[in-house]
Amino acid sequence: MLPDTRTADRREFTHGRLMLEEVTHHHAPRVPDDRSGSRAWLRARLSHLPWKVFLAREVLAVFGVLAAIVVALSVATWLVEDGPLWRAVYLPLLDIFTMGDPATGEGESPARRILQLIAGFVGLAILPLVVAATMNATEAFRSGSANRPPAPEMADHIVLVGLGKIGTRVLARLRTTDHRVVVIERDPAARGVAYARELGIPLLLEDATAPGVLEQARIRHSKSLLVVTHGDGENLDLAMAAREINPAIRVVMRLYDDDFAATVSATMRASYPDALTRSRSVSTLAAPAFAAATSSA
């Protein structure tokens, strides 16, 4: 955690060397066990995938309408045409998808030709909706499959928001401890995303300020929140949102402006006296160290 108020106020006596508070229980990072069988590995890979997106309301509505149209045309074809039931279903499907031959033969009845025209117009109307719903569901599945949400029973963990330079270093440090971590990062190309996936850490590739994302990270059951994104305002919004959900959560924010950090710290401590809050300006804390190193040289 970042240093407390007393340590920060006395930084002139430490030659500008302000260290992060060491978290106990250090040991080598734990890497997920790959010795399980292929069945267990496949189950672990598939269990967190968002299969429910294919059962979304718009997908069910579009395919439900398509199925109803197919049933209606099949019944009508079965009533006006001789032949087995499978042929009565097969012909309307070919007509809807414009894959059947035109009913222009001498043996074709007028009713068959009318049904083929109706099926063709229905296909022109419904197929774009089917394609759009399928593409939307596929995109939602692709985006959701990139996430690795925490287990439903996870509790007493640390939520880390941001996997840039500092966030990646914080994650690497936390992985040397017994603390469980859930990470939120909006940018799939952030430098720490691949590292988090390599370690098998629960990862949400979402905007942490979006509704429901903190709840997905089980912020209500977590013990600490570390916010290390680049925006001071965003970090403050996340801290306040987390406190609304979990008033007792321990919050650490990365802030660039020192005056703003002091104001935020004082305000949040006054608003939540029973909770622990740390807000520090990274640049202000680092500046004395660089100055001391220059003068000592």
**What is the three-class DSSP state of 224?**
strand
Is 194 domain-assigned?
Answer: yes
Helices (H), the chain: 5-9, 38-47, 57-80, 85-96, 110-145, 165-174, 193-199, 213-216, 232-245, 258-271, 282-296
Do 133 and 154 belong together in one domain?
A: no
* Residue 12, domain member (yes or no): no
Tokens of 130: 């089917």
Q: What is the pLDDT of residues 54-109, one digit of tens each?
A: 788 888 899 999 999 999 999 998 988 888 888 889 988 888 888 777 777 777 78
User: Of 120, 145, 170, which closes a domain?
Assistant: 145
Residues 107 and 241 in one domain: no
Q: Considering the domain boundaries, does residue 34 fall inside one?
A: no
The CATH number of whichever domain residue 104 belongs to comes to 1.10.287
Diameter over CA atoms, the chain: 103
> What's the confidence (pLDDT) of residue 23?
41
Is 171 in the same domain as 214?
yes
Q: For residue 184, is pLDDT > 90?
A: yes
Same domain, 206 and 91: no
Residue 113 lies in a domain: yes
Instruction: Examine the domain organization and report whether 164 and 290 are in the same domain.
Output: yes
Residues 192 and 277 in one domain: yes
Give the Cα separation of 245 and 71 in Å (integer). 49
> Of 127, 145, 163, which marks where a domain is finished?
145
pLDDT in tens, 240-252: 899 899 988 988 8
Regarding whether 174 and 88 lie in a shared domain, the answer is no
138 and 56 in a common domain? yes
Question: 203 near 147, Cβ under 8 Å?
Answer: yes
Query: Do residue 176 and residue 292 come from a single domain?
Result: yes
pTM tops 0.75: no
Q: Is the pLDDT of residue 27 over 80?
A: no
CA atoms within 13 A on the CB side of 5: 9
Q: How many domains does the chain have?
A: 2
Q: Are residues 178 and 284 in the same domain?
A: yes
The reply to whether 292 and 189 lie within a common domain is yes
Q: What is the pLDDT of residues 221-240, one digit of tens each?
A: 999 999 999 888 888 899 88
Q: Is residue 42 part of a domain?
A: no
Q: Is residue 43 part of a domain?
A: no
Q: Which domain holds residue 58?
A: 52-145
Task: Identify whether 40 is part of a domain.
Answer: no
Question: H-helix or E-strand containing 227?
Answer: strand 224-227
Give the single-character DSSP code of 148: B
Residue 21 lies in a domain: no
Shared domain check, 156 and 121: no
pLDDT recorded at residue 291: 65
